[in-house]
Chains A and B, each alone.
Chain A
Amino acid sequence: MTARTGEVPHRQPPPAARQSLQGHYAGFASRFAAFVVDVVVLTGIFLLVLAAINFTASILVERGIHLNRGDVWVVVAYAAWAFIYFAHFWGLNGKTAGGALFGVQVVTDEGADVSGRRAIGRALAFPLSFLILGLGFLGILTGDRRRALHDVIAGTAVIYSWDARAARLRLLSRSPSSAQPERRGLPESSGTPAPLS
């Protein structure tokens, strides 16, 4: 390693920004954002498949089949698809598309990988958190382990799966002249370093 030429402004970044969040329980915003992305993704795929079915049917059947979003069978199919989507990805590696984007992962309450059975249980319990007027999500805000009702039922938890410190170092390495990385969106959160093995 050789020192770079030129003066580097001496500054003391906040301790929290130096630490990783990896392995810590994920907060409400990250989980909600991941869920929104998942809904967008699975709905988009569903609508595409629905449109494809309509198009194929219009070709194969003379009178055509018009499946609208308000039809009961369509709603049931959508619910089944959503169940399959979440259960499959949670059981696969704990990450849905939204979870991968926002760096959150579903694990057991002990931190281990989620089994297929537990993933199915979580997917079945997931609507309960909505059906009680959203109170099932209150545990994410107030609980010590940030667990929603369906987490408690299924014995799961949601953790950050990305390394905030590594991201910060990557950003610093690309722009050494940026003296205020916190302005560029790096986390100010605190917590103990948690490099997952």
Chain B
Amino acid sequence: MDPLAPLRAVGGRLASPAEALAQAIAERVINQVVAALDLNALLAGIDLNAVLEEIDVNQVLQRVDLDRLLDRVDIEAILNRVDVNGLVDRVDVNRLLATVDVNRLLSSVDITALIDRVDVNQIVQQIDANEVMERVDLNAVIGRVDINAIVQRIDLDALVEQTDLGSVIAKSTSGVASDVVDAVRSRTVGVDESIARLVARLRRRPYTGPPGPPASLQVGVAS
């Protein structure tokens, strides 16, 4: 027979009330201690940076199931509380774009595939051509066109010969007298050029045609 069996029986009967009493005492003590503690003062005394340095955040994050966490987050509610306009106003877009490597970005874009997805006809239909044309400064556009260069590309001789423009010109000018004058002038100019070439050859200088025109006439030539 176990000599300690009676004691165990007594202990067994007294254990539950004792534990309950001890727990009640402990809770009361803890509550009083916590109430007596100035948590703010306590936290102020803690060097949180030093504590955070001790923590391996990456390891902690690895243990966090972000997907599960995000599933519990109401993104819509958060976004509704965000003042997007105010946020965008605080963003320096130019500074942001300056950090973007546009070339690299574009190189990664499949332009062909992008264009294939664009319905050009639909876009064109949405464009008010009249409104666009009203915004175009035609004078500025024409001002950038080198009319002289265009005219130089026209074979006027062929144009006059092959079209009725020639007959119009012929009708608009006088007849034999002007022909004679033109011929006389032309031949004389031919002699001018022959003499000029001869003189240039004697002087061993290249001849590039009749000099001029004078300064004030050059404006008329350019226009």
Contacts and interface: CB of A to CB of B under 8 A. Distances in A.
Given A27-B193, A164-B189, A190-B208, A111 B214 contact: yes
Contact of A25 (B170, B212, B221): B212
A109 B214 contact: yes
Main SS of the interface on chain B?
helix
Interface residues of B, number: 49
A1 interface: yes
A167 B213 contact: no
A186 interface: yes
Interface of A is mostly: loop
Contacts, number: 182
Interface size class of A (residues with CB under 8 A): 35 or more
B182 A171 contact: yes
Given A103-B185, A145-B211, A170 B178 contact: yes
B185 A27 contact: no
Given A4-B164, A29-B188, A189-B193, A101 B170 contact: no
Contacts of A107: 214, 217
A70 B6 CA distance: 183
A192 B221 contact: yes
A141 interface: yes
A159 B223 contact: no
Contact of B164 (A2, A101, A146, A171): A2
Contact of B213 (A23, A102, A144, A185): A23
B197 to A, nearest CB: 10
B159 to A, nearest CB: 9
A13 interface: yes
B169 A27 contact: no
Contacts of B170: 170, 173-174
B217 A194 contact: yes
A18 B179 contact: no
Given A1-B165, A169-B169, A191 B192 contact: no
Contact of A33 (B186, B188, B193): B188
A23 B219 CA distance: 11
Interface string A151-168: 000000101101011011
A108 B163 CA distance: 40
Interface string B182-219: 11111111111101100100010000111111111110
Contacts of B217: 23, 107, 111, 159, 194, 196
A109 B209 CA distance: 19
Contacts of A169: 156-157, 160, 166, 169
Contact of B185 (A102, A109, A142): A102
Contact of A167 (B182, B203, B208): B182
Interface of B: 148, 156-158, 160-170, 173, 178-179, 181-193, 195-196, 199, 203, 208-218, 220-221, 223
Interface of A: 1-4, 8, 10, 13, 16, 18, 21-30, 33, 101-103, 107-112, 141-142, 144-146, 157, 159-160, 162, 164-165, 167-174, 176, 184-197
12 contacts: A4-B163, A27-B193, A29-B189, A30-B185, A159-B214, A173-B166, A184-B183, A185-B182, A187-B186, A187-B193, A195-B220, A196-B217
